[in-house]
Amino acid sequence: MIILLKHTARIGSLLVCAMLACSAALAQKAERPDLQGIWTNASLTSLTRPRGVDSLVVSPEEARIIAARTPIAGLEGGLDESGDVNEVPDEAGDNFGTRAYNNFWVDPGSNLALVKGEYRTSYVVNPENGRVPRREDPQYDFERRDFGDRYATGFGDARGPEAIPNAERCLLGFGNKAGPGMMSALYNNTYQFVQTDKYVMILVEMAHDARIIPVFDSPEQARAQRRPVELEQWFGDSVGWYENDQLVVETVNINPLQLNQSSVPITKDGRIIERFSRYADNEIFYQFTVEDSNIYLQPWTAELSFYATNDGLYEYACHEGNYAMPGILAGARRLEMEGRTE
């Protein structure tokens, strides 16, 4: 009888331990949001608020009006129903790259960003004016390159491959697609999130970009595992941890080539903190905060959402059949031989 009681007590202790272990496991699982799946952040909202729009949140009707006059592929007021453009731009004219021939290739979304049930007029939520608070006198010697004229006229620096934008070289997607600070652009706004015990991988449909983020038990442990500063990676050095039902990702040390062409640049002294959480079964709420006193007057924060999609993830064969690079460089060399600059 005594032996039986001992066994019963031992079994009871094991059951209590098992229940505690299960409770701990459940608590850990509850703290880790399920981000797995294929998602899209397509919308007509931009990083900063349009001029003349004062409110961050607008009604569905106001959102439709703003979306209808949002330029798409260089066309003021968006694309017409047929997607055709009768006026062909003049070769080498000022509007050469700012008109679209049809909308077959574009898929930017049909309305403003819907975030937690609200239509938003900008991704930036802080400052409240919806503008990125850039310093007029950056405390860092870098030049943010603007390739707008090249896109509009077809003319630009062609001294070598390095003079051509990262996106045209198929090194990175355009529009800060993979981030950090991941935003939508003209097309290919699809992402696949894969979670394991130690990593989160974000595969971006545009330009084969993949962010592989190691995940640690605490921010202190994550920061202690940073890579050497000499390793200047695309998308920076990102480490993550789970906190308050969110995946938190902190990024520093973005590649200088990306820094000069990013919509969200940070210097060696700056950092970007991203937060991912599940707001609904079909929605990931995404927030990123940028801190860098070398470039910005204050930290600033942007928000958007990713929505579940059944469209699938497609191959982005960026250079397949692409004759742009050899054509641009060959044309520039020919002009040099003829003693001409354009």
pLDDT score, position 294? 92
Q: Percent of the chain, pLDDT > 70? A: 77
In a domain, 14, yes or no: no
Between residues 9 and 187, the one the model is more confident about: 187
State pLDDT tens for residues 76-97. Answer: 555 455 544 445 555 555 555 5
State pLDDT tens for residues 148-158. Answer: 667 666 778 88
User: Encoding tokens for residue 316?
Assistant: 């982005």
Structural domains in the chain (count): 1
Task: Tell me if 296 sits within 8 A of 290, measured CB to CB.
Answer: yes
Strand ranges for the chain from DSSP E:
37-40, 57-58, 113-115, 118-120, 124-126, 190-195, 199-204, 210-216, 237-243, 246-252, 271-280, 283-291, 300-308
Which structural domain range is residue 340 located in? 150-342
State pLDDT tens for residues 86-135. Answer: 455 555 555 555 555 556 678 889 999 999 999 999 999 999 999 999 99
In a domain, 123, yes or no: no
- Among 10-14, 23-27, 178-182, name the most confident range: 178-182
User: Encoding tokens for residue 15?
Assistant: 């059951």
Measured distance CA(265)–CA(133) in Å, rounded: 12
In a domain, 142, yes or no: no
- What is the dihedral sign for C-alpha 230, 233, 236, 239? negative
pLDDT tier for residue 175 given thresholds of 50, 70 and 90: confident
Mean pLDDT of 3-23: 39
In a domain, 285, yes or no: yes
Task: Tell me if 171 sits within 8 A of 207, measured CB to CB.
Answer: yes
In a domain, 311, yes or no: yes
pLDDT score, position 69? 87
Q: What is the 3-state secondary structure (H, E, C) of 196-236?
A: CCCEEEEEECHHHCEEEEEEECCHHHHHHCCCCCCCCCCCC
Dump the DSSP string for 17-59.
HHHHHHHHHHHHHHHS----EEEE---S--SSPPTT---SEE-
Between residues 145 and 183, the one the model is more confident about: 183
In a domain, 4, yes or no: no
Measured distance CA(119)–CA(117) in Å, rounded: 7
pTM score, two decimals?
Answer: 0.83
pLDDT tier for residue 199 given thresholds of 50, 70 and 90: very high
The residue behind tokens 């608590």 is 27
In a domain, 213, yes or no: yes
In a domain, 30, yes or no: no
Instruction: Name the 3-class secondary structure at 318.
Output: coil
pLDDT tier for residue 39 given thresholds of 50, 70 and 90: very high
pLDDT tier for residue 260 given thresholds of 50, 70 and 90: confident
